[in-house]
Each structure stands twice: as structure tokens, then as C-alpha cells.
């Protein structure tokens, strides 16, 4: 029998479980000063980007995350003109935001240049976000970028890695209060906030620190089903400066006029994503 080795990758979710899939080929590995990046080609999920061994996105289900972190806050805002993406170095969020062609400004501040470089080369289905002419990619530290600036953006999207290493400071209250200042009146911030099942502490770090900056009644969680992230049920924290809850401020007129095709997001999901199971509600209310 010919030697036919099998290569498998596991992302560990806890000391006792993880998520494993069979790898066709390791396409690229590269180290920056900040982190290790791997691009894998896999049988089940297509191309995958790992940062420090954690799944950032897969070709097969990235649409859920990127649609939900962008279109929900954009359609919840009354009249967005300028959008800031922090992180999002793969270009997936930029790709979705750029479809809102009425926007006057889209800035994406990514700390590590090897992420966009490799995304454009190996995962162009998201990397193409940086090819859109209305997207301005800035290589820099998002934590520094939001300091001492005010009234510049209507929507801020924090598309970060997990809250350790380079992204740790993107989950703290000083960062969120700078984000509040950089937002104009009526502004909305959304951040990827891990999951309530394995990592409730991390989710609540984002929620509690947003609460410190925006006030307890101006922060909540919405969720989406993302099969390749821990627990499959992913949380986004959202805070708003205006009076209306983002689930109620969906702009149906703009949604119909733009007439975009989505694979996950729709007007019903916009509202339903805020409906939380009891175990998540309890975590949110307990702190």
C-alpha cells in the first residue's frame, strides 16, 4: 500500500475539546513581529486563515461573520457616511462595507501588514475588499488611531482577533471611550465579542467595558451562527450613542433601494439576532 499520510488541524476550545478538520495542503506560513499566520487548504471548508493557530475565517462560512458585523450596524444607523474598521486585515469586512456605495469614507486600520498581503494573495475572496476603490487601508495600531480624535465616523467595526496578544487593548474601556469620542452623534460601534459558551468572561469583558463608556442601557449583544468558531454561536457586542435601540432602527427604505444580495443577513435576522437564549441573557444580566 502506498504511504498516504493524513494531515489534520485542531483548534483547541478548552483543555478537553476542540474542532478538527482534514487539511489538503498548507499553502503558506509566515511570522511577523506580532504573530504567526498560516493559510490552509481544507476539504470541508476551503481555504482557511489561522493567526497564532486560531481560525480567523474559512472560505465556506466567512460570509456569516462578515455580513453580520457590517450590514447590521450600517442598516441600524440613520444616515452613515463614514465607517472605520479596526483590524479586519483580511478584507472581508471592507468587502461588505464597500457595497454601501453611498458611503463617503471607509477606513480600515490593521496593525499587521502580513495579514492583508497574504489575504490578497491566498484568500482573494476576502482580500478583494482592499481592491475596492472606496476602501482606504491604513497599516497602524487601531488603539493609537482612535486616541485624541472626535466626531469622525458614524459606524466603527472592531473586527479583531481574540482578546490577547495584539488585540488585548481592543477590549478595554479606555479604547471604547476613545471610540465613543471618534463617533459622531447617532454613532454605533460593533465588536466581535467571542462566545457565551466557552468564553463568557471574554464576551463580558467587551460588554462591561462598552457599558462603562456608553452607559448600561446603550449596550447589548447580538448573535450569529458561525460553524467554524468556538461553540458555533458567535457574539457581537454593540453600543450606540443615539436613543433608538439598533434592533428597532433598521432602515428598510435604504435596504430596499440598495437591493444587495446577502447569504445570511435579512430584515428579519436584523431583529432576531438580538433575541438571546436564556443562558446568554443570564450572563448579560448577572454582571
Is 56 one of the binding residues for ligand AG3 (CB under 6 A)? yes
Residue of 38, 61, 159, 199 marked catalytic? 159
Exposed / middle / buried, residue 231 (Cβ in 10 Å: 0-12, 13-18, 19+): middle
Rounded Cα–Cα distance for residues 247 and 73 (Å):
9
Burial class (CB in 10 A: 0-12, 13-18, 19+), 248: exposed
54 binds ligand AG3 (CB under 6 A): yes
Residue from 90, 110, 112, 251 binding ligand AG3 (CB under 6 A): 90
Q: What is the pattern of x (binds ligand AG3, CB under 6 A) and - over residues 133-162?
A: --------------------------x-xx
The three-state secondary structure class of 72 is helix
The CB-of-223 to ligand AG3 minimum distance in angstroms stands at: 14
User: What are φ and ψ of residue 170, in 5° steps?
Assistant: -80, 0
Residue 127 or residue 251: which is nearer to ligand AG3 going by CB? Answer: 127
What does each C-alpha distance from 1 to 4, 5, 24 come to in angstroms? 8, 12, 20
Q: x/- contact string, 98-117, with ligand AG3 (CB under 6 A)?
A: --------------------
Binding flag, residue 39, ligand AG3 (CB under 6 A): no
In the complex, minimum distance from the CB of residue 195 to ligand AG3, in angstroms, rounded to a whole number: 9
Q: Closest Cα partner for 28 from 14, 39, 36? A: 39
Residues forming the site for ligand AG3 (CB under 6 A):
11, 54-57, 65, 88, 90, 92-93, 159, 161-162, 192, 229-230
Catalytic positions are 159
Amino acid at each position: 500500500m502506498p504511504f498516504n499520510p493524513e494531515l489534520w488541524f485542531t483548534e483547541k476550545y478548552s483543555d478537553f475539546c476542540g474542532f478538527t478538520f482534514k487539511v489538503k495542503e498548507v499553502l503558506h506560513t509566515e511570522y511577523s513581529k506580532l504573530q504567526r499566520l498560516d493559510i490552509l487548504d481544507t476539504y470541508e471548508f476551503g481555504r482557511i486563515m489561522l493567526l497564532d493557530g486560531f481560525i480567523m475565517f474559512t472560505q465556506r462560512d466567512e460570509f456569516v461573520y462578515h455580513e453580520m458585523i457590517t450590514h447590521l450596524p450600517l442598516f441600524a444607523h440613520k444616515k452613515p457616511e463614514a465607517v472605520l474598521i479596526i483590524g479586519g486585515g483580511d478584507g472581508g469586512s471592507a468587502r461588505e462595507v464597500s457595497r454601501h456605495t453611498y458611503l463617503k469614507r471607509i477606513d480600515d486600520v490593521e496593525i499587521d501588514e502580513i495579514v492583508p498581503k497574504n489575504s490578497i494573495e491566498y484568500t482573494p475572496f476576502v482580500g478583494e475588499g482592499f481592491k475596492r476603490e472606496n476602501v482606504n487601508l491604513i497599516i497602524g495600531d487601531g488603539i493609537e488611531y482612535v486616541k485624541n480624535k472626535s466626531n469622525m465616523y458614524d459606524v466603527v467595526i472592531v473586527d479583531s482577533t481574540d482578546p490577547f496578544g495584539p488585540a488585548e487593548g481592543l477590549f478595554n474601556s479606555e479604547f471604547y471611550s476613545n471610540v465613543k469620542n471618534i463617533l459622531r452623534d447617532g454613532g454605533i460601534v460593533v465588536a466581535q465579542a467571542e462566545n457565551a459558551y466557552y468564553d463568557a468572561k471574554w464576551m463580558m469583558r467587551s460588554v462591561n467595558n462598552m457599558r462603562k463608556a456608553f452607559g448600561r442601557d446603550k449596550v447589548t449583544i447580538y448573535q450569529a451562527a458561525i460553524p467554524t468558531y468556538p461553540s458555533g454561536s458567535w457574539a457581537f457586542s454593540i453600543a450606540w450613542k443615539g436613543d433608538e435601540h439598533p434592533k428597532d432602527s433598521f432602515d428598510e427604505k435604504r435596504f430596499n433601494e440598495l437591493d444587495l444580495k446577502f447569504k445570511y443577513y435579512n430584515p428579519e435576522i436584523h431583529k432576531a439576532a438580538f433575541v438571546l437564549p436564556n443562558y446568554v441573557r443570564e450572563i448579560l444580566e448577572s454582571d
